[in-house]
């Protein structure tokens, strides 16, 4: 297939591009290479992709209406994998405009391009953040998600609603994936496992929010990409007769890990103990996430399962190599 991959220089995007190319797809990657975190890391992710046949790249911003319309006018795609977004719960409190532009306006431009082409399938990134203040565990796709606790979460829920509308009106097959705390090599520096590793190696304290009383369903990057590709190859259909060809799935490890246990895995992999600074819960955070992946397993026969200890060791090996420490 010929795939448009947005956010190609991002953490999940770069890993997804590698897998698509490995199986013989051609990929046009786009990314605005913004400075939310080090652009050098994004360029380093792109470098091995640019060396491969079948991959091309354009520095485009999905929020640029004219540029996106021109892109869809000059190229035809079999499917779109839309991973471009402004990420980060805490950043959304201080920089809301970035989320309105990228996550709402940008997603609208993607939907319009797919509609114009009569595209075969749009797969897009949602987030476990949509579950907001829910306390029922594990989170299931049928749970109400009407109480987001961050603007980031609200934009991701809005994406799901927008996708459903286009599926209903134009019969565009859309599949949203609610990612649960993705980690691994080439990850984002603003994520806890990355910043904790850096701080421990530099001898600085790590900030432990909610005094350590938190749990996360950490999901290894290879599992995320495997699930994404399986979903990509099975376009969404209507769940009920006469319904919209629109699906949403959780993709998580089904194994929430306590924050202190998570820190222990990093300490073990590094062979050093962390200096811990215990702090209250931050605005926009939730105390726990826990994915039910039964729907994903029924749909594509796969669910993430990489043990956290294995995934953290792989990340630490990459981190030491990339930063030469």
Instruction: Report the C-alpha gap between 92 and 87 in whole angstroms.
Output: 8
State how far the Cα of 169 lies from the Cα of 161, in Å rounded to an integer: 12
Beta-carbon count within 10 A of 141 CB = 18
Contact status, residue 41 vs residue 189, Cβ threshold 8 Å? yes
Q: Give the strand pairing for 174-179 and 122-127.
A: parallel
Pairwise CA distance, residues 12 & 8, whole Å: 8
**Strand positions, DSSP E, the chain:** 2-6, 26-30, 55-58, 79-82, 122-127, 174-179, 182-183, 205-208, 215-216, 219-220, 246-251, 257-258, 275-278
Residues 6+ apart with CB under 8 A from 301: 230
Which residues belong to the active site?
A: 152
115-to-3, 61, 74, 167, 325 alpha-carbon distances in Å:
15, 19, 15, 9, 48
For residues 196 and 272, is the Cβ–Cβ distance under 8 A?
no
Query: Which helix (H) or strand (E) segment is 299 a member of?
Result: helix 294-300
- Extract the tokens encoding 268: 């073990």
Q: Are 148 and 257 in contact (CB under 8 A)?
A: no
């Amino acid at each position: 297939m010929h795939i448009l991959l947005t956010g190609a220089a991002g953490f999940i995007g770069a890993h997804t591009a590698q897998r698509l190319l490995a199986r013989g797809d051609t990929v046009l990657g786009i990314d605005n290479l913004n400075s939310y975190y080090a652009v050098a890391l994004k360029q380093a992710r792109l470098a091995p992709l640019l060396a491969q046949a079948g991959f091309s790249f354009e520095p485009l911003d999905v929020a640029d209406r004219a540029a996106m319309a021109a892109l869809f006018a000059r190229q035809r795609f079999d499917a779109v994998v839309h991973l471009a977004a402004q990420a980060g719960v805490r950043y959304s409190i201080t920089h809301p405009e970035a989320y309105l532009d990228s996550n709402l306006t940008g997603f609208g431009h993607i939907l319009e391009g797919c509609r114009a082409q009569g595209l075969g399938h749009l797969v897009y990134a949602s987030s476990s953040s949509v579950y907001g203040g829910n306390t029922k565990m594990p989170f299931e796709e049928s749970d109400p998600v009407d109480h987001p606790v961050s603007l980031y979460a609200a934009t991701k829920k809005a994406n799901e609603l927008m996708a459903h509308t286009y599926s209903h009106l134009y019969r565009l097959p859309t599949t949203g994936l609610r990612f649960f705390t993705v980690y691994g090599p080439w990850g984002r520096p603003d994520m806890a496992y990355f910043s904790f590793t850096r701080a421990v190696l530099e001898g600085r304290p790590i900030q432990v929010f909610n005094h350590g009383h938190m749990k996360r369903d950490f999901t290894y990057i290879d599992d995320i990409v495997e699930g994404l590709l399986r979903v990509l190859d099975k376009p969404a259909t209507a769940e009920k007769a006469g319904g919209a060809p629109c699906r949403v799935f959780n993709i998580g490890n089904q194994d929430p890990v306590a924050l202190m246990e998570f820190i222990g895995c990093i300490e073990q992999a590094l062979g050093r103990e962390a200096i811990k600074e215990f702090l209250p819960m931050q605005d926009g955070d939730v105390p726990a996430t826990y994915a039910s992946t039964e729907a994903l397993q029924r749909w594509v026969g796969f669910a993430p399962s990489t043990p956290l200890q294995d995934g953290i060791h792989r990340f630490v090996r990459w981190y030491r190599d990339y930063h030469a420490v």
